[in-house]
Amino acid sequence: MKLNNRHEMVGTIAKVEEEGRELKLTFSVEKTIEIPKTNIDIAKLKTMLGARIGILNLDESYKIRVVK
C-alpha cells in the first residue's frame, strides 16, 4: 500500500524493513505502506517501534509523529 498525498496513517508501528529504494512500515493494524527511503530516516523510525504513530504524505514530503 502506498500512502496517498494528504493522507495520514495512524497506528502502532510494529516493524520497519528496507526493500530496494523503499522502506516498509508495518503497523499493528496490519497495514503495510511503502515510502521512498529518502523521505524519512530509518534510524528515527526504528526508535518508534511499538509506538502509535501517524505518518502524513504532503506532496511526497512525509511527516511523522507519535500519537499519544
Domain limits for position 51: 8-66
Give pTM, 2 decimals.
0.59
Q: 1 lies in a domain?
A: no
Give 53-62 pLDDT, tens digit per residue: 899 999 988 9
Q: Which long-range contacts (CB under 8 A, 24 or more apart) does 10-14 make?
A: 10/52, 10/53, 10/54, 10/55, 10/67, 11/52, 11/53, 12/50, 12/51, 12/52, 12/53, 13/45, 13/48, 13/49, 13/50, 13/51, 13/52, 13/53, 14/49, 14/50
Q: 3 lies in a domain?
A: no
Q: 43 lies in a domain?
A: yes
Q: Looking at residue 66, what is its pLDDT? A: 92
DSSP at 2: B
Give 7-65 pLDDT, tens digit per residue: 988 888 889 999 999 999 998 766 788 999 888 889 999 999 988 889 999 998 899 99
Q: 2 lies in a domain?
A: no
Total domains present in the chain = 1
